[in-house]
Amino acid sequence: MDTVVNFYEEVEDRLLRFAVIIAKTDGQYVFCKHKSRNTLEVPGGHREPGEMILDTAKRELYEETGAIDFDIHPVCVYSVTAEDNFNGEESFGMLYAAEIRAFEPELHSEIEKIFITADMPTDWTYPDIQPKLMEEAEKRGY
């Protein structure tokens, strides 16, 4: 089974397990490098129990990029269906776009460093998913 990524305008809130944020600063993208990987990824992560999905997005953006002053907007709901993901069941997340104005001087999470660039990564952590999210956000004007 190939990885399938779909996009929706909305789903029931309880289905949203992840928040992913297409982040920019000064017109350039912000990507993250996890301490235990040699690849780049878009900021994002799992929703905590009882957390509003927007709060997940804000928390993950701060934790993974150090963003302390930013605007954030919902783009759309996305889903991923993959054999190695939730036993092949469709899982849902909310895609956001953020414009970051200021960062903390150092990161305090599992992220080793951030990269600010106009170029797309060649080595993605999630190559079957995140480029499709970037493409969808761009189609929608983000």
pLDDT single digits (tens) 30-70: 999 999 999 999 999 999 999 999 999 999 999 999 999 99
pLDDT over 80 at 1, yes or no: no
Centre a 10 Å sphere on the Cβ of residue 86 and count the other Cβ atoms it contains.
12
pLDDT 10s digits, 64-104:
999 999 999 999 999 999 887 777 889 999 999 999 999 99
* 1 against 59, higher pLDDT: 59
**64, 111 contact by CB (below 8 A):** yes
Q: Which CATH superfamily is domain 4-139 in?
A: Nucleoside Triphosphate Pyrophosphohydrolase (3.90.79.10)
Predicted confidence at residue 108, as pLDDT, reads: 79
Half-sphere exposure of 94 (CA within 13 A, CB side): 25
Give tens-digit pLDDT for 3-26: 999 999 999 999 999 999 999 999
d(CA 21, CA 19): 7
pTM of the entire predicted model: 0.94
